Structure 1
Amino acid sequence: MHKITSLPGDDARPGWFHTSPARQPRPGHSGRKDARWTIVGAGLTGLAAARQLALNFPDDEVVLVEAQQVGFGSSGRNAGFAIDVPHDIGAKDYIGDVTTATKVLKLNTLGQDYLREIVAQYGIDCQMSASGKYQAAVGEKGIAILEAYRSGLEKIGRATTMIDAKDLPEHIGTSYYNKALHIPGTLLLQPAALVKGLADSLPANVTLYEHTAITSIEQGDKITLVHDRGMIVTDKLILANNGFASAFGFLKGRLLPTFLYGSLTRPLTDDEQARLGGQGVWGVIPAHPFGSTVRRTVDNRILIRNSFNFYPDGRPRASALQRHLPTHRKSFERRFPMLGKVDFEYSWSGAICLSENHEGFFGQLAPNVYGATCCNGLGITRGTATGKLLADWLAGEHNEHIDFLLSSPGPNKTPPQPFLSIGVNSVLKWGQFRAGLEV
């Protein structure tokens, strides 16, 4: 029996969750449950895996277990960019090997198309907008990154538009940036609303248990998952819990749970919207990967997301969130001096799962245990795609996407503690310093 000592414990004020349509959570599990399929983690990956497993095995019950409430965890705390194009920060042009980048583009597009289909079929109100994204730069170094990225995207057949500083206010209101590369194809959405809608539209043969945190796991002919109110005994286990896969005893020393911090303003008044100008919905990603992500939402709020910390147990620290709030305020005021004092209504932390070599895991972890984890910052599209494809692979399907994912070497082994935390947090701090005015 392996005891799980690190459980999700996210902070209380995730803006996307509280501004998305309310839903009735499903009851937690109690007693004993026997199942053929059990998935741990009802984020984007787990929801996609559960949906596709249920469709592939319509006579089987699929059990989906979530430690918190659906939409409250990491999948509902990101910036809401469903990105199609690759963004390999380890390559000078953010593209790298063209063959690999082309496969990544197809994989991400599969995830987008799957989400589009479900959102349309079930009328999920998640503010989905085909707005593309602006990769924006402040200063010559950032502009050089944009030029390299444009060149890389051309290699894989993706058209872009470079926008000069004088024209940017027509697009995003602010004149803060010197240049931006508009990349069509990205979907902008309200991530918590998406996750809630996906959960409430699952096939009838999916049983979802919320507020059911697994505290220990025992492997054998069957897998036993124990929690405070009972146990689930399953033939097959799928881990879709990202960095917490390590807490279950898998991929230990290979996953890097990294926290970013977001703040969402109150809705802008009509006068403030007029002063801001620009398009009604847009999203900016910094040229430098450690800069600020900024969005204007359908309900006329401004999102600021920046600052990083690595915590190997996958749990945020309240002190870190408070420490980063002044940075959010400064980032907002730099970009939007025309808005004066607009308060942040919500501020929160949210984890992404990274690996040292930017590879995720897809496939078999142990006998009867499978996983799709570590999306390296592309959780909406990559998580959705890998969850669906894992369910298809378990049903015996093979295609170019599955073969590509199975060929991955997986996440690299990292140094032991305390060197790992010291090293990763030093890299994050240095990266944020180098991002300069893009923070």
Structure 2
Amino acid sequence: MIKVSSLPSDDKTCGWYHLSKKRAANPAHSGTSRARWVIIGAGYTGLAAAREMAKNFPNEEIVLVEAQEAGFGTAGRNAGFAIDLPHDIGADDYIGDLHTANMALKLNLTGQQILKSIVDEHEIDCQMRESGKYQAAVEGRGIAILEAYQRGLDKLGQSYETISGKDLSEHIGTSFYKQGLFTPGTILIQPSALVKGLADTLPSNVTLYENTPITEVNYGEKITLGHANGKIITDNLILANNAFGMRFGFLQGTMLPIFTYASLTRPLTTDEQKSMGGKDFWGLIPADPFGTTLRRTHDNRILVRNSFSFNPDGRSKQKYLDRFIDRHRQSFKNRFPMLSNVDFEYTWGGSLALSRNHQGFFGKLAPNVYGALCCNGLGITRGTVTGTLLADWCAGDHNDMIDSLLTSPKPNGNLPEPLLSIGVNANLWWNQKKAGLES
């Protein structure tokens, strides 16, 4: 018997969640149930796995268990970039090995296509737009990263547009940056609205239990998942809960729950929109990974996301929200001085499951236990495609993407505590400081 030592607990101030369409959560599980397949985690990976598993086993009930409410947790808290291009931060040109990069591109494009198909079929209102993305830099280090990435994109044969700082303001309404790069393949979405829509359009043979945190697991010929109000007995278990997979006894000491933080303004007035200029909908990621991500949303709000913390238990901490909101205000002021009277309406945190070697896990964890874990910040596209492919593999299918995922390197091990926390916190502090004006 394994006691699950830490359970998801996110802050209640996520703007995406509150601004997306309200929905009634599915009932929590109670009593004793039995199923052939149970999936833990109703984020992008778990929702995709459940949807595909339902197609592969149309006469079976597929059980999907979520500790919180669909759209409230990690999957609904990111910046909403469904990215197509590979971005290997360990490679000099951010592309690295061409074979690996082309497979990453294929996986990401497949994830995008799966999501577009579902959104179109079910008319999910998640402000999905094929808008592309900007990357920008203001300091020499960031500009060097942009130039290296251009060389990588040339090697990969992908299109892009370079934009000078003076021209970039016509695109995003700020003259803060000195150089920009636009790539056309990214899809922007409202992440909580998408997750809610995916949850509410699952096939009829998927049973979703929300607000059902699993507190203990007994592995054996049958797997028993216990919680406060009952238990679920299953033949097969799929873990799609990222870093919390470690709490279920697998990949322990390999994943890092890193939280990043975002703030969202009130809607801009008509006059404020005119004073800002630029396009009415866009997204920008920093050249420096520790810089600031920006979005202008469909309802004319500005999103600012930066700052990181290492939360080993995977749970939100109010002290970081209180600490980082001032950094958000300064980053916003630096970029949009013409909007000095605009304040934030929401500030929240959300976790990333990272590994030190930037690798995820896909495949079999133990007899009758499978997982697609550790998306390394690409949850929307990579979680969607790996969840889908894992369900296909469990049904006996094979293709080049599945084979690539099965044979890819796995997350490597971390240092023991307290060395791990000392090292990660020092790394986060130094890299955020080194980002300078990019933050």
TM-score w.r.t. the length of structure 2 is: 0.99
Q: State the match for 2:21 in structure 1.
A: 21
Deviation at 1:411, TM superposition (A): 0.3
Deviation at 1:393, TM superposition (A): 0.4
Separation in structure 1 between the aligned mates of residue 77 and residue 321 of structure 2, nearest angstrom: 14
Partner of 2:283, secondary structure, is strand
Structure 2 letter corresponding to 1:131? S
Q: State the match for 2:408 in structure 1.
A: 408
Q: State the match for 1:61 in structure 2.
A: 61
RMSD: 0.6
Separation in structure 1 between the aligned mates of residue 382 and residue 97 of structure 2, nearest angstrom: 19
Separation in structure 1 between the aligned mates of residue 429 and residue 52 of structure 2, nearest angstrom: 40
Q: Which runs of 5+ in 1 are unaligned?
A: none
Q: State the match for 1:325 in structure 2.
A: 325
Q: State the match for 1:175 in structure 2.
A: 175
- What pairs up with 1:407-426 in 2 under 5 angstroms? 407-426=407-426
Partner of 2:86, secondary structure, is coil
Separation in structure 2 between the aligned mates of residue 306 and residue 402 of structure 1, nearest angstrom: 34
Runs of 4+ in structure 1 over 6 Å off: none
Partner of 2:248, secondary structure, is coil
Q: Does 1:270 align with 2:309?
A: no
Structure 2 letter corresponding to 1:89? I
Separation in structure 2 between the aligned mates of residue 323 and residue 104 of structure 1, nearest angstrom: 36
Q: Does 1:280 align with 2:256?
A: no
Separation in structure 2 between the aligned mates of residue 157 and residue 409 of structure 1, nearest angstrom: 25
- What pairs up with 1:361-372 in 2 under 5 angstroms? 361-372=361-372
Separation in structure 2 between the aligned mates of residue 26 and residue 196 of structure 1, nearest angstrom: 11
Q: Does 1:165 align with 2:165?
A: yes
Deviation at 1:335, TM superposition (A): 0.4
Separation in structure 1 between the aligned mates of residue 157 and residue 111 of structure 2, nearest angstrom: 19
Q: State the match for 1:31 in structure 2.
A: 31
Paired residue total: 439
Partner of 2:50, secondary structure, is helix
Q: Does 1:230 align with 2:239?
A: no
Q: Could you give the per-residue CA deviations for residues 364-399 of structure 1, whole angstroms, max 9, x where no partner exists?
A: 011100000101011100000100000010011100
Partner of 1:371, secondary structure, is strand
Separation in structure 2 between the aligned mates of residue 147 and residue 409 of structure 1, nearest angstrom: 28
Q: State the match for 1:202 in structure 2.
A: 202
Deviation at 1:409, TM superposition (A): 2.0
- What pairs up with 1:187-198 in 2 under 5 angstroms? 187-198=187-198
Partner of 2:215, secondary structure, is strand
Structure 1 letter corresponding to 2:282? W
Deviation at 1:198, TM superposition (A): 0.3
Deviation at 1:354, TM superposition (A): 0.2
Separation in structure 2 between the aligned mates of residue 156 and residue 205 of structure 1, nearest angstrom: 41
Partner of 2:275, secondary structure, is helix
Separation in structure 2 between the aligned mates of residue 349 and residue 22 of structure 1, nearest angstrom: 20
Separation in structure 1 between the aligned mates of residue 421 and residue 375 of structure 2, nearest angstrom: 20
Separation in structure 2 between the aligned mates of residue 237 and residue 428 of structure 1, nearest angstrom: 34
Higher mean C-alpha displacement, 135-144 vs 372-381: 135-144
Q: State the match for 1:80 in structure 2.
A: 80
Separation in structure 2 between the aligned mates of residue 248 and residue 428 of structure 1, nearest angstrom: 27
Q: Does 1:290 align with 2:314?
A: no
Structure 2 letter corresponding to 1:151? R
Q: Which runs of 5+ in 2 are unaligned?
A: none
Structure 2 letter corresponding to 1:26? N
Separation in structure 2 between the aligned mates of residue 94 and residue 435 of structure 1, nearest angstrom: 18
Q: Could you give the per-residue CA deviations for residues 158-188 of structure 1, whole angstroms, max 9, x where no partner exists?
A: 1100000111111000110001000110001
Deviation at 1:317, TM superposition (A): 1.1
Separation in structure 1 between the aligned mates of residue 275 and residue 216 of structure 2, nearest angstrom: 55
Q: Percent identity?
A: 64
Separation in structure 2 between the aligned mates of residue 292 and residue 139 of structure 1, nearest angstrom: 13
Q: State the match for 1:240 in structure 2.
A: 240
Structure 1 letter corresponding to 2:172? I
Q: Could you give the per-residue CA deviations for residues 314-335 of structure 1, whole angstroms, max 9, x where no partner exists?
A: 1121101111110000000000
Separation in structure 1 between the aligned mates of residue 91 and residue 426 of structure 2, nearest angstrom: 21
Separation in structure 2 between the aligned mates of residue 105 and residue 373 of structure 1, nearest angstrom: 19
Q: Does 1:103 align with 2:103?
A: yes
- What pairs up with 1:306-317 in 2 under 5 angstroms? 306-317=306-317
Partner of 1:381, secondary structure, is helix
Separation in structure 2 between the aligned mates of residue 13 and residue 386 of structure 1, nearest angstrom: 29
Separation in structure 2 between the aligned mates of residue 38 and residue 358 of structure 1, nearest angstrom: 27
Deviation at 1:139, TM superposition (A): 1.8
Q: Could you give the per-residue CA deviations for residues 206-262 of structure 1, whole angstroms, max 9, x where no partner exists?
A: 000000000000001010000000000000000000000011111100010100001
Deviation at 1:265, TM superposition (A): 0.6
